């Protein structure tokens, strides 16, 4: 079937958009012709049962543990070629041991060892949402590369990352795992992470298979509740949620993982529109799709399948190649093929896709090539890995507020009181989805400040309270400690298990009596700089209103304490920018910046909300906007130039301006380009991010920054789901944040 570049495709009454926007992923010619021949030759030897065996994946924590029924069942299945991949088996010793069992099978097909290496293997980087706050694509790619290097040296072939779900709802705990709310930023980061994990070409022992997940639109779960239904317009699906997956596919991501949610009533795991028509059809994707944990069997719970057998038939037919921990394929697929309910060539296609990756990794030539003791020791002890993690942690920190230049802490400070339940936290700094929880390898904020504070600065400490409950028993001592200090650093936030999978929250305030602790400390009359840890946007009204400075730390990883000290003492000038909007209250959600429209009743005069699109009990504006983040220096934007006021087909326009560091400290600024199409056949958001640059400037230095806009960047999906730019005027905005526009201009697109 050939796809027209301009006309939508009609499939089962569903519109597939024109492919101009999603310029087709060229089918990867097999990287090495003999791989296809080797796959074909092997497939021809396989029995139906052996083919089904490749489509099964199990979690293997028990498989290297003490004797158990589960362990012997798993080992027998592996030995008889009934398992294609194991997850949660890691380390050279264990992977070698289990691979040897797999090689006893009749055709000696090696296993794929997989693991959730989401933000580091042994060296833990900031959570992905924190990395996204760096807006530094090179640093993000390096972080993924270090994670891949360490994992690949430890017998791992495949990571279930990057998670590329657009996350706009801070009630959903998995926003911590993605790149935030914006499609353009999220697509750029998806590509950087895939290239970081996989390198330019698969097969190196410092790279692993990456996995774009969760396909698709998992982040749009109704009410921010994990595993819930998703209902989306075709425009939203194609314009907001699919592009990061397309970016990952175009970057060569080796695998996809589907998702637990339904999309407009059809579970993603059984959704042929997503997996066959879009991914394997229109995008001609050559890799394979693994289900999420048990999601094939869960089709029965959704009421989309009558039972596990029906679920297996629906999932395989819809394009789910491998069954993670569902036992739906192992128990039913062979019989379904024999009964003619599932076509053999669909099974063969799934097996072929999986075998191709095993060949590309070189596992048939040397099944143990990722399991080398000496390399494991050398790579895991490489000090450069921690250097990269500390630098990324520095870049991830977002200075939300800094009144009267409270920060950086000056060397003259005699006494600093470090207070709060997360001041000495270690495990929490690695956040959720961490592989390594060995706290001897994690630097707390207390460790970092103790090491950094000069000999003329005394560091006091008090815990103050817990992150749960409502006990104020520690307040008095905390206040007394504050009174002995020149300045208070307060460390508050979420613990590592308050965000992540299955961690949706209806209330995203700081948990426990932490805000009350802040108020008590503030009343002591000393400046209070607050460090907030968390996996999502949190609400902290009193702190936001009354703190002298606020540094948002996310979960900064194993080097987090050092990175925080670097920023607090000014050794590193913070440049982080929020990749997700922080609401004033949950009632404002959804509140992503690019979900804001002029409406028919815009607020034209501040405060005049009568019969306008507004709340009577809160402003429309967020607490902190997408793209917000301060610096210890200041930047001036000037001399906006638009290379041509009118754009004809095939042309592009350069939008340039001068950026100057007007402060006394060197620093970096993330300059952002936003666009608005004020009149169109489908109403457009007030602002959409179209480009950004991270610019480093010395005090007094100026640079010219240039963005390029072409027709594609002006386009959107019209009512016919065609990706089109419509003639007319466009507003251009350049700024330091989505709510801090410094320069504005116009251009016109001609027919």
Which residues are at the interface with ligand GLC (CB under 6 A)? 87, 116, 160, 213, 292-293, 501
Helices of type H across 296-343: 298-302, 308-318, 328-338
Cβ-based neighbours of 467, under 8 Å, separated by 6 or more: 421, 422, 492, 493, 494, 495, 498, 511, 512, 514
Q: From the candidates 292, 372, 428, 677, which is the catalytic residue?
A: 292
Taking the CA atoms of 130, 512, 591 and 505 in sequence, report the sign of the dihedral they define.
positive
- Minimum distance from CB of 208 to ligand GLC (Å)? 13
The pairing of strands 549-554 and 487-493 is unpaired
Biggest distance spanned by C-alpha atoms of the chain: 80
C-beta of 321 vs 501, nearer to ligand GLC = 501
Alpha helices, DSSP H, located in 524-594: 541-546, 560-568
Which helix or strand (DSSP H or E) is residue 749 part of?
strand 740-749
Residue closer to ligand GLC by CB (options 164, 363) is 164
The least distance separating ligand GLC from the CB of residue 224, rounded to whole angstroms, comes to 16
Least distance from C-beta 567 to ligand GLC, angstroms? 31
The residue whose Cβ lies closest to ligand GLC is: 160
Q: Minimum distance from CB of 175 to ligand GLC (Å)?
A: 13
The C-alpha atoms of residue 729 and residue 746 are separated, in whole angstroms, by 7
Residue pair 86/63 in contact (Cβ under 8 Å)? The answer is: yes
Ramachandran bin of 305, using left for φ above 0, alpha for ψ from -120 to 50, beta for the remaining angles: beta
Q: What distance in Å separates the CA atoms of residue 545 and residue 513, rounded to the nearest whole number? A: 17
Smaller CB separation from ligand GLC, 150 or 501: 501
Phi/psi-derived region of residue 457, left when phi > 0, alpha when psi is between -120 and 50, beta in every other case: beta
Residue 251 phi/psi, 5-degree rounding, is -85, 0
Task: Pick between residue 315 and residue 479 the one whose CB is nearest to ligand GLC.
Answer: 315
Choice between 87 and 442, CB closer to ligand GLC? 87
88 vs 235, beta carbon nearer ligand GLC: 88
Cβ atoms of 74 and 358 within 8 Å: the answer is no
What's the closest the beta carbon of residue 350 comes to ligand GLC, in angstroms? 19
Q: What is the nearest approach in angstroms of ligand GLC to the Cβ of residue 185?
A: 21
Q: Long-range contacts made by residues 13-18, C-beta under 8 angstroms, separation at least 24?
A: 14/234, 14/273, 14/277, 15/234, 15/720, 15/721, 16/277, 16/278, 16/282, 16/721, 17/234, 17/238, 17/717, 17/721, 17/722, 17/723, 18/721, 18/722, 18/723, 18/724
Q: Is 617 a catalytic residue?
A: no
**Is 208 within 8 Å of 118 (Cβ atoms)?**
no
Structure-block tokens of residue 714 = 């002006």
Nearer to ligand GLC, 149 or 213 (CB): 213
Indicate if the alpha-carbon torsion angle 262, 264, 265, 268 is positive or negative. Answer: negative
Smallest gap from Cβ 302 to ligand GLC, in A, equals 16
Question: Closest approach of Cβ 366 to ligand GLC, in Å?
Answer: 27
Nearest to 111 by CA among 49, 37, 54, 39: 54
CA angle 420, 445, 408 (to 5 degrees): 95
**Residue number, 170 or 178, with CB nearest to ligand GLC:** 178
The minimum distance between CB 86 and ligand GLC, in angstroms, equals 12
- Report, in Å, the least distance between residue 270 CB and ligand GLC: 17
At residue 131, φ and ψ (nearest 5 deg) are -60, -40
Query: Whole-angstrom Cα distance, residue 176 to residue 168?
Result: 11
The smaller minimum CB distance to ligand GLC, of residues 258 and 391, is found at 258
Would you say 267 or 583 has its CB closer to ligand GLC?
Answer: 267
HSE at residue 279, side-chain half, CA atoms within 13 A, is 33
Tally of CB atoms within 10 A around 751: 7
Q: Annotated active-site positions, please?
A: 292
């Amino acid at each position: 079937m050939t796809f027209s570049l301009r006309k939508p495709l009609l499939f089962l009454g569903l519109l597939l958009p024109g492919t101009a926007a999603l310029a087709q992923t060229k089918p990867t010619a097999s990287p090495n012709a003999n791989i296809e021949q080797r796959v074909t030759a092997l497939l021809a030897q396989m029995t139906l049962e052996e083919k089904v065996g490749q489509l099964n994946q199990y979690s293997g924590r028990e498989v290297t543990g003490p004797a158990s029924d589960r362990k012997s069942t798993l080992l027998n299945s592996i030995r008889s070629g009934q398992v294609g991949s194991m997850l949660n088996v890691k380390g050279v010793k264990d992977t070698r041991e289990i691979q040897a069992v797999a090689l006893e099978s009749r055709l000696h097909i090696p296993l794929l060892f997989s693991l959730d290496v989401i933000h580091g293997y042994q060296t833990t980087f900031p959570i992905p949402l924190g990395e996204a706050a760096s807006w530094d694509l090179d640093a993000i790619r390096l972080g993924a590369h270090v994670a891949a290097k360490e994992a690949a040296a430890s017998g791992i072939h495949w990571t279930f990352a990057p998670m590329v779900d657009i996350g706009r709802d801070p009630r959903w705990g998995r926003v911590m795992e993605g790149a935030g709310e914006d499609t353009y930023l999220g697509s750029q980061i998806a590509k950087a992470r895939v290239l970081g994990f996989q390198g330019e070409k698969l097969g190196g022992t410092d790279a692993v298979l990456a996995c774009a997940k969760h396909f698709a639109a998992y982040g749009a779960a109704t009410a921010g509740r994990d595993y819930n239904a998703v209902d989306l317009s075709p425009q939203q699906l194609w314009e907001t949620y699919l592009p990061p997956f397309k970016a990952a596919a175009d970057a060569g991501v080796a695998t996809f993982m589907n998702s637990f949610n339904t999309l407009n009533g059809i579970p993603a795991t059984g959704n042929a529109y997503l997996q066959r028509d879009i991914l394997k059809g229109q995008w001609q994707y050559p890799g394979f799709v693994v289900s999420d944990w048990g999601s094939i069997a869960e089709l029965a719970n959704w009421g989309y399948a009558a039972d596990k057998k029906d679920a297996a038939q629906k999932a395989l037919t819809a394009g789910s190649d491998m069954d993670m921990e569902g036992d739906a394929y192992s128990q039913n697929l062979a019989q379904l093929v024999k009964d003619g309910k599932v076509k053999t060539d669909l099974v063969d296609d799934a097996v072929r896709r999986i075998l191709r990756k095993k060949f590309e990794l070189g596992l048939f030539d040397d099944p143990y090539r990722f399991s080398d003791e000496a390399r494991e020791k050398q790579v895991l002890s490489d000090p450069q890995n921690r250097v990269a993690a500390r630098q990324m942690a520095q870049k991830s920190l977002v200075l939300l507020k800094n009144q009267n230049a409270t920060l950086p802490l000056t060397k003259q400070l005699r006494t600093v009181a470090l207070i709060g339940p997360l001041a000495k936290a270690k495990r929490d700094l690695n956040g959720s989805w961490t592989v390594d929880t060995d706290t001897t390898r994690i630097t707390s904020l207390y460790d970092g400040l103790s090491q950094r504070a000069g000999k003329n600065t005394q560091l006091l400490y008090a815990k103050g309270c817990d992150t749960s409950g409502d006990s104020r028993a520690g307040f008095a001592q905390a206040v007394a400690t504050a009174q002995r200090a020149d300045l208070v650093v307060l460390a508050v936030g979420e613990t590592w298990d308050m965000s992540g999978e299955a961690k949706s929250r209806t209330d995203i305030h700081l948990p426990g009596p932490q805000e009350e602790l802040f108020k008590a400390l503030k009343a002591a009359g000393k400046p209070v700089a607050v460090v907030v840890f968390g996996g999502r946007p949190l609400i902290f009204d009193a702190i936001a209103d009354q703190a002298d400075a606020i540094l948002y730390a996310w979960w900064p990883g194993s080097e987090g304490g050092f990175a925080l000290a670097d920023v607090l003492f000014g050794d590193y000038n913070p440049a982080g920018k929020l990749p997700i909007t922080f609401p004033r209250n949950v009632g404002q959600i959804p509140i992503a910046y690019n979900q804001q429209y002029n409406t028919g009743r815009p607020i034209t005069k501040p405060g005049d909300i009568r019969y306008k699109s507004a709340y009577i009990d809160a402003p429309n504006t967020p607490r902190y906007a997408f793209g917000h983040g301060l610096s210890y220096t200041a930047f001036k934007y000037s001399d906006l130039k638009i290379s041509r006021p009118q754009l004809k087909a095939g042309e592009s326009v350069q939008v340039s301006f001068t950026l100057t560091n007007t402060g006394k400290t060197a620093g970096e600024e993330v300059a952002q380009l936003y666009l608005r199409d004020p009149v169109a056949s489908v109403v457009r958001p007030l602002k959409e991010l179209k480009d950004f640059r991270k610019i480093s400037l010395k005090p007094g230095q100026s640079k010219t920054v240039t963005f390029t806009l072409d027709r594609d960047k002006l386009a959107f999906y019209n009512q016919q789901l065609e990706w089109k730019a419509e003639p007319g005027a466009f507003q251009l905005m350049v700024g330091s944040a989505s709510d801090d526009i410094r320069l504005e201009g116009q251009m016109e697109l001609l027919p």
